[in-house]
Amino acid sequence: MAIFVLTDAVITVNAVELSNRSNKVELNFEIDSVEVTTMGAVGHVFAGGLQNNSCAVDLFQDFATSNVEATIYPLVGTTTSVTVKATSAATSATNPLYTLSGTFLAAHTPVSGSTGDVAMTSLSFTGGTLVKTTA
Question: What is the tens place of the pLDDT at every residue in 74-131?
Answer: 999 999 999 999 999 999 999 999 999 999 999 999 999 899 999 999 999 999 999 9
Considering only residues 66 and 23, tell me which one the structure prediction assigns the higher pLDDT: 23
Confidence of residue 1 (pLDDT cuts 50, 70, 90): low
Regarding pTM above 0.85, the answer is yes
Cβ pair 13, 84 in contact under 8 A: no
Q: Would the CA dihedral through 92, 88, 104, 16 be positive or negative? A: negative
Q: Report the candidate in 106, 97, 99 with the shortest Cα–Cα distance to residue 125.
A: 106
Q: Where would I find the beta strands (DSSP E) of 21-106?
A: 22-28, 31-35, 46-51, 54-60, 78-85, 97-105
Would you kindly state where each structural domain of the chain is located, as residue ranges? 10-31+50-133
Write out pLDDT tens, residues 35-69.
Answer: 999 999 999 999 999 999 999 999 999 999 889 99
What is the CA angle 108-114-120, rounded to 5?
35
Nearest CA-CA partner of 11 in 99, 70, 77: 99
> What is the architecture, at CATH level 2, of domain 10-31+50-133?
Beta Barrel (2.40)
Section 1-24 average pLDDT: 94
Under 8 Å between Cβ of 9 and 18 = no
Which pLDDT does position 35 carry in this prediction?
97
C-alpha 103/C-alpha 27 separation (Å) is 12
**pLDDT value at position 2?**
82
Q: Residue 75, SS3?
A: helix
